[in-house]
Structure 1
Amino acid sequence: MARRFAFVFPMASGHMNPSLPLARRLVSLGHQVHYISREQMREAIEDTGATFHSDMEEMPELYEGRTPDLFAALNDLRIEFGLEDDPYMIAFTKLKEICLEMMMPGLLRWLARIRAEAVVCCPLMNREASLGAQVLRLPCVCLLTTAGPGAMPVAMADMLKTFNITLEQCMEERANFQPLLDSLQRLREKYGVKVELTDDMWPMGLSAASCESKLTLVTTAEFLSDPLPQDLQKLYDAAGCTFAYVGPLLDKAGAKRAAGHKFELSDGRAEAAEPAADVVAMLRAAKAQGRRVVYASMGTVITGDSPEMGWHDRIKKDGVPQGLTGKELCQAAWKGLFDALGTEGGPLLLVALGPQSDALEDLEVPANAFCLPVMPQVDLLKSGVDLFLTHGGQNSFMEALSSGTPLVVCPGFADQPINAQKAVDLGVGLQVPRPECRMEDASREAAKYQAATAAAVAAVLAELSFLQKARGLEEELKSAGGVAKAVDLILSTLDHPHKLGGA
């Protein structure tokens, strides 16, 4: 029986990428898949056979007269609500349900128009989806792209530490922000949903969307998941949550990938990559010649234009910009790679730059390096990369482990430092921690970071044990189930909803 699925992934392409192979398989089985997402994601979505719908067009209550960014239209809302001077993390926690309230009318209209029979969403980014499913009495499946529900409190603690903010401070700010309290009350009265001041905040790392959903798919294997604190375990048990570990969700060869968080482009899209086969062919030719291949990508957020976390900005602590910008961080990592291996006839260096036009500004690219805004990451890793220099986002981390690829992790924030340490603990690679320094010391720290990256690259390539450990984990991950298991679980949830807990 063919079904109509609503995939709600308006923001953060990294969270959306594992959904693409799910959509492709559902379409191949005769089901309809409709996405509500950003224009930057259209090409990758349509490549699966799914139908694309623009969140900006479908949600005018939020986007009309406002500029989109990584988190809905947070920057404009900060100005509207007089929060320009608030730390980014504080402003986000004050405004996230206000954004949600503005999204709900358009989301509900869209779900009704496409006659959705089930909703699939990211529980970290898209609470409006699980609430919309409740209002329309639709089953909801969450796609959690972290190292299990236990990773969420750890990542949140790291984010708070990065911005030098406490959870208690966030909660106090929320409790004293009347527009938020008014928004929560309107959501309760208009839609009959349970929304509380503590949602997604307290206890730290609790996912309200997972509590409201029939099933949460987790894109790691259980043996790689982070321990779940006992208080969260009790709350999830009480809510009847089902977490199913399916391992990394990898797409077919040649599949298009969502990439880029750069919103000022005239058509809203990231720059296009060369055809995937060309880059993969370069890799295979190099391997056939006995050359090593190193692939580098620093992800989508750091190379994008998100305030405080993106290309041009520095993280603020107590209102003071500190450390390296995204550009300084990425270029130092790339320079370190070039220092270690950049020589004519040396290893093939494939570098995914991201969408910024000045990515290579002031960099001397060696003859053995090939750089593009976007590269077919999964295809390259599957084809046999000797080393992956990565920011350590969960999707990239799992894609590397599933292909037995050793790592050098240059983390940015959130779960990335955690995965960097996990790579060391698992014996699959080394990490180069992000520098913390005063802004005036950034150039000196960037030079140190460049040297540390070069040393880590050389060390991982020289030591066989990293490859052996990575190959061992690759074998273990083969039994996780992947896309086929995930889709079977989704369809089973629709056919036999009584077998699972949740709303």
Structure 2
Amino acid sequence: MARVLVVITPAEGHVNPSLGLVKQLVDSGEEVDYVCTEEFRTRIQPTGAKLITYPFVDDAFSKDADLKPAEYKHHYQFVYMMVKGMIQPIIPEVLRVIENRTYDYLIYDSLMGWGGKIIAEKLGIPAICSIASFAFVEPLGSGQGMDENDPEVKKLYTATMKVTHQLANELQVAIPAMDEIAPHAGRLKIVYTSRYFQPQAEKLDNSYIFTGPSIVPRKDAPSFPFEQLRALHPQTVYISMGTILNKDLEFYKLCFAAFHDLPVQFVLSSGKYTDMELLADCIPDNFIVKPYIPQLEMLQHVDAFITHAGMNSTSEALYYNVPLVMVPMTSDQPIVANRVQELGAGIAVNKNELSPASLKAALLEVLNHSTYKQQAHVIGESLRQAGRYRHAADTIMSHFSTIEK
């Protein structure tokens, strides 16, 4: 039995993919300490891992200016977010709460980048990188138009390296170069998708283990009257913009305007922090609006999914063969949406050209042409065949048992 330290970014899109792996490790006899925030206790405790918490702002990715999702026009913007928003505030706290504990190996979130290497170095243990999105063959934001001579890029470089130097000196570790902060590092990299869905998979070596999405029942999911879905209309469409980008009331109003006259049942997950009372008089009769929907269950009942193209939501939909209409907003979402569209399982709508007409046209295209459903099934089959969290746990445990021998 090994003692395992798991350190994951405190966000649903990063915690959720790790849960199946962690539970499988625990069920296989590993002793797991999972370091995260109190906000995710009800998600983590059912895995059997011991939760160790540190202070962090709830819903930080909406409230913290350094963490708010953004469009990255240069990869230094992404690296700065990692250093200032994640590594600087979190890694010292993690080291504090695990002080005097010993572990055999570390599983850390890819969004922590260099921070994961710091923890592994301090503990003197090997590391495994948990990648909740696609594995980035090139840094996020590369090739988006800004070059190294842009004054804003130079300013970002200086600001990032200033924080990096401060933290390295504080923790007494070597100062990394700029291009050493973001890359996926570790003896193994667990990627919660399939090689088929992963862009440029041929450029990734065998240390990247593709396991498919971690589909684990969520015990804190609310109930939902699924029997109502087809009571009035033959088709059902689910709308969710995830847990970070779900406060845009203008987008919801646009959906109401686009779809109010369609003979389709719509289910909208508005988010627990969104005040929908402001739109109460605008909600059409063919909409069911709730703050939180049991997404895994809902995806098994719908004909299409309108989404921001977050990796978790996209993977869960495709796992259940659901075609997509995508409105990518920030971060890696354009990459995910482009890949889905490239493989024929959905349509991406440009957020800068979004209108009721464009959104309605995209949805009708997906609903009325079976090829999107067929291609969603092709991707879904690759995700289902990837081995899931059991494959990840078996690979990790066999890898370290081989090393010990």
Q: TM-score, normalised by structure 1?
A: 0.69
Matches within 5 A, 1:43-122: 43-56=42-55, 70=60, 75=65, 93=80, 96=83, 100-101=87-88, 103-122=90-109
Please tell me whether residue 369 in structure 1 is matched to residue 287 in structure 2. yes
1:142 equivalent in structure 2: 129
Identity %: 26
SS at match of 2:29: coil
**Distance (Å, rounded) in 1 between the aligned partners of 2:81 and 2:340:** 34
1:339 equivalent in structure 2: 260
**Distance (Å, rounded) in 1 between the aligned partners of 2:227 and 2:192:** 28
Amino acid at match of 1:222: R
Which structure 2 segments of 5+ residues have no match?
68-73
TM-align CA RMSD: 3.5
SS at match of 1:6: strand
**Distance (Å, rounded) in 2 between the aligned partners of 1:285 and 1:298:** 22
Instruction: State the Cα distance separating 1:451 from its structure 2 match.
Output: 2.2
- The change in CA–CA distance for 1:459 and 1:289 in structure 2 (over 3 A counts) is same
2:378 equivalent in structure 1: 472
**Distance (Å, rounded) in 2 between the aligned partners of 1:46 and 1:103:** 21
SS at match of 1:384: coil
Amino acid at match of 1:147: F
SS at match of 1:362: helix
Which structure 1 segments of 5+ residues have no match?
57-62, 78-86, 201-205, 257-272, 304-310, 312-325, 436-444
Alignment check: 8 A CA contact 1:432 1:449 kept = no
- The change in CA–CA distance for 1:386 and 1:415 in structure 2 (over 3 A counts) is same
Alignment check: 8 A CA contact 1:411 1:432 kept = yes
Runs of 4 or more above 4 Å deviation = 71-77, 89-92, 165-171, 287-290
Please tell me whether residue 224 in structure 1 is matched to residue 146 in structure 2. no
Amino acid at match of 1:248: P
**Distance (Å, rounded) in 2 between the aligned partners of 1:102 and 1:406:** 38
- The change in CA–CA distance for 1:127 and 1:24 in structure 2 (over 3 A counts) is same
- The change in CA–CA distance for 1:302 and 1:118 in structure 2 (over 3 A counts) is same
**Distance (Å, rounded) in 2 between the aligned partners of 1:337 and 1:484:** 42
Amino acid at match of 1:398: S
Amino acid at match of 1:226: P
Instruction: State the Cα distance separating 1:478 from its structure 2 match.
Output: 2.5
Q: Deviations over 1:238-279 (max 9, x none)?
A: xxx811111112113x444xxxxxxxxxxxxxxxx6x2xx32
1:433 equivalent in structure 2: 350
**Distance (Å, rounded) in 1 between the aligned partners of 2:334 and 2:78:** 23
1:489 equivalent in structure 2: 395
1:454 equivalent in structure 2: 360
- The change in CA–CA distance for 1:431 and 1:289 in structure 2 (over 3 A counts) is same
- The change in CA–CA distance for 1:69 and 1:328 in structure 2 (over 3 A counts) is same
Q: Deviations over 1:54-101 (max 9, x none)?
A: 221xxxxxx6xxx67636996499xxxxxxxxx9x7597288269635
**Distance (Å, rounded) in 2 between the aligned partners of 1:47 and 1:338:** 39
The alignment of Structure 1 onto Structure 2 pairs a total of residues equal to 396
Q: Deviations over 1:357-401 (max 9, x none)?
A: 3245235223332222222212222x2321111111111111111
Please tell me whether residue 329 in structure 1 is matched to residue 251 in structure 2. yes
Of 180, 183, 198, 2:163 maps to 180
- The change in CA–CA distance for 1:110 and 1:418 in structure 2 (over 3 A counts) is same
Alignment check: 8 A CA contact 2:110 2:132 kept = no
1:296 equivalent in structure 2: 239
Amino acid at match of 2:319: S
Instruction: State the Cα distance separating 1:405 from its structure 2 match.
Output: 0.6
- The change in CA–CA distance for 1:290 and 1:300 in structure 2 (over 3 A counts) is closer
